A and B are shown apart, each in its own frame.
Chain A
Amino acid sequence: MEDKALILILVALSLIGVLAVYSVDPLRGEEWGASLFSKQIIWNFVGWLVFLFFSQIDYHQWVKRGWLWYLLMVLSLGAVLVFGKGDETGSRRWLFSQSVQPSEGAKIALALFLAHYFSEQRENFDFWPLLLKSGILSFIPLVLIFEEPDLGSSLVLLVIWLGGLFVCGFSAKKWAVIGGIGVGLLPLSWFFLEDYQKARLLSFIDPGKDPLGSGYHILQSKIAIGAGGFTGQGWLSGTQSQLYFLPARHTDFIFASWCEQLGFLGGMVIIFLLGALSYLFLVIALRSPDLEGKILASLLGISLLFQWAVNIGMNLGVMPVTGIALPFISYGGSSLVANLASAGLVYNISKSGGKESWKLWI
């Protein structure tokens, strides 16, 4: 039952993603292959092949090799810092000339690794040492991504780690201690932020302060969503996105462009689909017969929820601009393929590994 629902939701999200990119594609009149939406269709095609691949391999095969993924993740992230070329924002996020974004893969790799690492410890679950060790291991990729710099993705890794700690049943009291320390240390993190990141946070607190500077994104996004109203201004209409007032309208702010055209109703469809998908991940985690499946599915669910909630929150002006894309919808290959890959993993968990699933050759 869950597996069918999963496929249905994924198909719907993929279609909406292509439509949303099409609606704001400045190159949609160009020939096939040049336009953004045609690229998004190709990425969907690739992504669904990857989904198929992951759905057919017993997830235990992946979890078992947790350390291998961990190693590959750290190496590729290191390679980004060494060999990566800066993009237009000055961040180094890419490998192989802007085609692969290892930080997207890192989200899955860390979830696999933690599922392996925590489930290994099930017999002697010792709180503090485990916290410390898993913390150090999680922070290595996190810091590498932060250095790119990509604040959003490193936050996703942080949430995956914290989610792992939570799911694995750390006691409430100890959670309170960690929470207290976390909140206490939060102001310190200010000193590690780049100037533009600080500006984004400040403008999040008071977007009216500098409406043409960093507050611009948030303000324009709110205007687009508000101007959309209940039913929107109509497909392919809406001056905010069509006249370029809305920045990153096909990536980070694609939700706002969608809502300007299709209004509250159209936006709720996306929220409902993404909410249902992440909820489904948790249901599958609950039904999973073993600990590996439970941890992996719930971590992937947390990662998914965090990404879409922060992205939509940012579009609605209740979250700072952190550069987290909207899963399945935002234009971009790495994110789409990675999200379909993790959905494939969860699909496989929903089938409890599957008797006749393929074996990994490594």
Chain B
Amino acid sequence: MQEQVNQRITYLSRLFLIILLILSFRFWYLSILQGDWYKQKSEQNRVRVFSLSPIRGSIYDRNSQVLAEDIPRFRLIYEKGGMEVEEIEKRVERILGRELSPPFPERGVGEIILIDPLSLEEAIKIEEAQNDLPGVRVETYPVRHYPRGEPFAHVVGYVGKINAEELESLYSEGYEMEDRIGKVGVEREYESLLRGEKGYRRIEVDALGRVIRVLDYRSPYFKNSVTLTLDGELQEYSYELLGNRNGVIIVGDPYTGELLALVSKPGFDPQLLSWGMTAEEWNTLSQNQDKPLTNRSLQALYPPGSLFKLVIATGALEEGLTDGNRKIFCPGFLDYNGWRYPCWRRGGHGAVSIEEAIAQSCNVTFYTLGLELGADRIINWSGRLGVGRPSGIDLPGEKTAFLPTPEWKKRQLKEMWYPGDTINLSIGQGYLLVTPLEMYRVVSSIATRGEVYQPHVLKEVLDSKGEVIRKVSPVLQDRIELKNSTWETLIRGMEKVVNRGTGQVCRGLPVELAAKTGTAQNPQGEDHSWFAGFFPSSHPQVVFLVLIEHGGDGSGEAAQTAKKLIEWWEENRGGKSGR
């Protein structure tokens, strides 16, 4: 048996050698072949990189008034280690004389947030008692402040925490969880300008996340600020003018595309959205029937009503269906195929020229011209004047008109296009829906006799020292070539609207005003009230559009609002606008 045992022990010794070799080989593989890779992993273990929020650029109005800026807030951080959290909590409570509310949120690398936000007075108290509070520090971080609030909410927008979708698409640009990002308006449109550069702190930590030392630090800085074309006071006055009615006011310069006011009512408080609101508050806001989050000027669709008669008139004049001489008789209605289509004036306008028809907003004239043009040519001319095409405004979420065509009706509603549909279309009713900005653009193109400038809200980009590094120059998007007589007729007609037509409310203003009223029937209730125009009509400097939801007759609410607006302008800006 001894022999056998000896043999087995010899076998065993070979097994021992094999195991020794395998382990040595594996050891060599790990420490020599893969050594560099593991060195890197070891580095990742001990070094944490902490980003510091960038300071966002400010947003100013055209007169350099602040519309949005970052202001510092404080929070109290405790770097765990040294003392028990309970002890630190007790000391802080004693120093500040108020109770803290644990549990405290953890923040990576073993830091906890004791208080957020901390008031300035409290921050000073903490700094003074620094010796009693090892590991406690006051951290400054920026929050967005909107000093002018609601009237600017839609244009300026607001910032919020980055969401999962945004993070996924912007990860490569250095965005991280908890980062702020522009959500709507200018804040979103010019995010890349406003965002600024992040700073960082590279820290060596141990396995428990305790900070061993700071390896490297770079403070965050901001890159650019922007100046908008908005006239802050005009914007605020316009917002005020709308009172408790929902609606839109757009004011701008026809020859540059600069928007001086872009108001959508109701607004919302951008501050609340930026600093975080409860789910309940958010639900109330987002489910509000009045849709305060929608920028009505470019995101809401309305029937244009009689404003659309400007498009019909353009088409009819250009196609030679009418000229200064043709008069159409209005008995107060139009009978067509056994249906009776009324004019808004029961008694009729009698025989009216096209100019007169614009001034009086005579339905029968436009029914007649619309029928002669036909639906296809009407849609065509709408497109020629820019309805149904995005304006290219530098604000996110712009919508465009819905232009109904016979093909669309057949396809979608499985019904043929009746002459009645054309008649409705001729006075801007029926299926047709437009955004206020589109109608603003039609009016602006008439003011400039065909020069279409891209509407915009960005005026200048400033660098971190406040120096202008870029001025936005006007972009001539399109040149609408029409007969000179057509422009003349349209503008004469619009002047007559004010002097002796539906817009007489505005007669007597100290400016040459050309405008058009609109009264849009809608399924929601009382008619929408439109009033759009420009002044001075001979050399236009200001284009405006007022829309008041359910404001009734265009010659009423909207025209009166426009009157106050123009009066304000003449009083406060009149001198400046003289060319």
Contacts and interface: CB of A to CB of B under 8 A. Distances in A.
Contacts of A244: 206-208
A245 B17 CA distance: 33
Interface stretch (A142-150, A222-230, A344-352): A222-230
A282 B5 CA distance: 11
Given A225-B30, A239-B45, A301 B12 contact: yes
Interface string A290-321: 01001100100110010001001100111000
| B interface majority secondary structure | helix
A246 B46 CA distance: 12
A291 B13 CA distance: 17
A305 B19 contact: yes
Interface in A255-275: 259, 263-264, 267-268, 271, 275
Interface string A111-142: 00000000000100100000000000000000
Interface in B202-261: 204-208, 212
Contacts of B16: 275, 278-279, 282, 301, 305
Given A169-B1, A226-B39, A286-B10, A263 B45 contact: no
A32 interface: no
B79 to A, nearest CB: 16
Contacts of A294: 2, 5-6, 9
Given A245-B46, A279-B13, A286-B9, A227 B35 contact: yes
A302 B1 CA distance: 20
B39 A229 contact: yes
B26 to A, nearest CB: 5
Contacts of B34: 226
Contacts of A291: 1-2, 5
A38 B54 CA distance: 52
B1 A226 contact: no
A68 interface: no
Contacts of A313: 23, 26
A167 B39 contact: no
A243 interface: yes
Contacts of A305: 16, 19
A358 interface: no
Contacts of B46: 239, 243, 245
B9 A282 contact: yes
Interface string A146-188: 0000000000000000010011110000000000000000000
B23 A312 contact: yes
Contacts of A309: 19, 23
Nearest to B39: A227
Interface string A56-88: 000000000000000000000000000000000
Interface in B20-35: 20, 23-24, 26-28, 30-32, 34-35
Contact of A271 (B13, B20, B45): B20
A264 B32 contact: yes
Contacts of B28: 264
A241 to B, nearest CB: 10
Contact of A225 (B2, B12, B31): B31
A251 interface: no
Contacts of B13: 279, 282-283
B41 interface: yes
A271 B24 contact: yes
B205 to A, nearest CB: 7
Given A271-B20, A271-B24, A230 B1 contact: no
A240 interface: yes
B42 A225 contact: no
Given A166-B8, A264-B32, A279-B13, A239 B42 contact: yes
A285 interface: yes
Contacts of A279: 13, 16-17
A226 to B, nearest CB: 2
Contact of A316 (B7, B27, B42): B27
Contacts of A271: 20, 23-24, 27
B206 A227 contact: no
A226 B5 contact: no
A268 to B, nearest CB: 7
B37 interface: yes
Contacts of B30: 222, 225-226, 316-317
A263 B24 CA distance: 13
A264 B27 contact: yes
A225 B27 contact: yes
21 contacts: A125-B1, A223-B38, A223-B42, A224-B38, A227-B41, A239-B45, A240-B45, A243-B212, A245-B45, A245-B206, A259-B31, A264-B31, A279-B16, A282-B9, A286-B9, A291-B1, A291-B5, A298-B8, A312-B23, A316-B30, A318-B23
Given A226-B37, A244-B208, 7 more contacts: A167-B12, A227-B41, A271-B20, A271-B27, A275-B16, A286-B10, A298-B9
Interface of B: 1-2, 4-13, 16-17, 19-20, 23-24, 26-28, 30-32, 34-35, 37-39, 41-42, 45-46, 204-208, 212
